[in-house]
């Protein structure tokens, strides 16, 4: 197995290299690159990795720029400290998304996924990776959790435990069913693209709510709908008459 590592943190690159060779002693590291420029230059040559481990935030920009400049035909495992790029990662031939600090188990699982891809193609005698990667993207494109920071500590919140998201002072907030609240770096629009549109509905510019959080609804002034959740919200949740139809359609299509 030929492997390329794209990572601008020396210690992370070295740790990843050691873990890969420990798990796959027969693997060959074709190169370790720390920038978009170096990566594009290497991948433009006749170099054919079986897998690429790729950080997202590099010294000269986001690694997604690499895909715009050179064709990548092998699976990519993204290793990053940030979770807001997950959707973009799976759109870019990503087969796994590992959050730093990664562990031996994280890397072992990523390598297992790549092995399963190879077995799939050998079994079905397929010549190209696109169709399977497309299926993987479709099944993994919604976020399962959000990385949050509070009291000088990082933790993750399962998406299914989020009651609603809302904007306050142009900052997106996440509120759980346990009434915990965290700030996010993404815009509410970005969050809406990452979560399941079957589970979450953006009722207005400020709020994105979970179906499970809805307690009741009632008619309000000027043909608006007032939505009440199982936990309190800073403001009344009002849906204007133009959006009422799509809201009730969403409620029914479940």
CATH at 212? 2.40.50.1020
Residue 126: pLDDT band (50, 70, 90) is very low
pTM of the predicted model as reported, rounded to 2 decimal places: 0.49
| Structural domain span for residue 86 | 2-140
Q: How far apart are CA 186 and CA 85, in angstroms?
A: 10
* CATH number, domain containing residue 109: 3.40.50.2300
Is the pLDDT score of 113 beyond 50?
yes
Region 185-211 average pLDDT: 93
Structure confidence by residue, pLDDT tens digits, 143-180: 889 988 888 788 899 999 999 999 999 999 999 999 99
* Same domain assignment for residues 94 and 115: yes
Q: Residue 173: its pLDDT value, please?
A: 96
Question: Are the C-beta atoms of residues 228 and 237 closer than 8 Å to each other?
Answer: yes
- Taking residues 83-98, report their average pLDDT: 68
119 in the same domain as 10:
yes
**127 pLDDT above the threshold of 50:** no
Residue where one domain finishes, among candidates 121, 140, 159: 140
Q: What number is the average pLDDT over the span 206-227?
A: 94
pLDDT reading at 112 higher than 70: yes
Give the distance from CA 9 to its chain's centroid: 21
Question: Are 156 and 106 found together in one domain?
Answer: no
Residue 121 shares a structural domain with residue 179: no
Which of 98, 118, 140 terminates a domain? The answer is 140
What spatial distance separates the first Cα and last Cα of the chain, rounded to whole Å? 44
Query: Which of these ranges, 22-31, 118-127, 142-151, 221-230, has the smallest mean pLDDT?
Result: 118-127
Alpha-carbon span 24 to 173, nearest angstrom? 42
Q: Do 118 and 233 belong to one domain? A: no
Residue 47 three-state SS = coil
- Residue 88 pLDDT class (50, 70, 90 cuts): low
Task: Please give the pLDDT value at position 139.
Answer: 46
Instruction: Tell me, yes or no, whether 126 and 173 share the same domain.
Output: no
Same domain, 114 and 230: no
* Residue 65 and residue 47 share a domain: yes
Q: How far apart are CA 199 and CA 80, in angstroms?
A: 27
Pick the most confident of 65-74, 135-144, 193-202, 206-215: 206-215
Indicate whether 100 and 15 sit together in one domain: yes
User: Could you tell me if 248 and 209 lie in one domain?
Assistant: yes
Task: Quote the mean pLDDT of the chain.
Answer: 86
pLDDT higher at 122 or 15: 15
Which of 108, 140, 172 marks a domain boundary? 140
The pLDDT assigned to 204 comes to: 94
């Amino acid at each position: 197995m030929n492997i390329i590592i794209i990572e601008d943190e020396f210690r992370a690159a070295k740790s990843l290299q050691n873990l890969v060779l420990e798990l796959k002693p027969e693997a060959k590291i074709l190169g370790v690159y720390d920038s978009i420029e170096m990566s594009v230059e290497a991948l433009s040559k006749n170099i054919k990795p079986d897998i690429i481990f790729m950080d997202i935030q590099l010294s000269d920009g986001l690694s997604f720029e690499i895909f715009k400049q050179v064709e990548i035909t092998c699976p990519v495992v993204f290793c990053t400290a940030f979770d807001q790029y997950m959707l973009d990662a799976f759109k870019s031939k990503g087969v796994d998304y590992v959050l730093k600090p990664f562990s031996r188990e994280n890397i072992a699982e990523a390598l297992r996924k790549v092995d399963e891809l190879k077995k799939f193609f050998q079994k079905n005698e397929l010549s190209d990776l696109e169709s399977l990667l497309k299926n993987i993207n479709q099944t993994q494109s919604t976020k399962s959790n959000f990385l949050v920071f509070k009291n000088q500590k990082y933790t993750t919140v399962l998406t299914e435990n989020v009651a609603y998201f809302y904007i306050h002072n142009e900052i997106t907030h996440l509120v759980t069913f346990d009434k915990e609240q965290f700030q996010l770096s993404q815009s509410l629009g970005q969050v809406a693209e990452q979560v399941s549109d079957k589970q979450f509905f953006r009722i207005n510019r400020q709020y994105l709510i979970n179906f499970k959080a809805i307690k009741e609804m009632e008619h309000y002034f000027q043909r608006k709908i007032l939505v009440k959740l199982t936990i309190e919200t800073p403001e009344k949740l009002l849906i204007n008459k133009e959006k009422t139809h799509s809201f009730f359609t969403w409620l029914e299509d479940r």
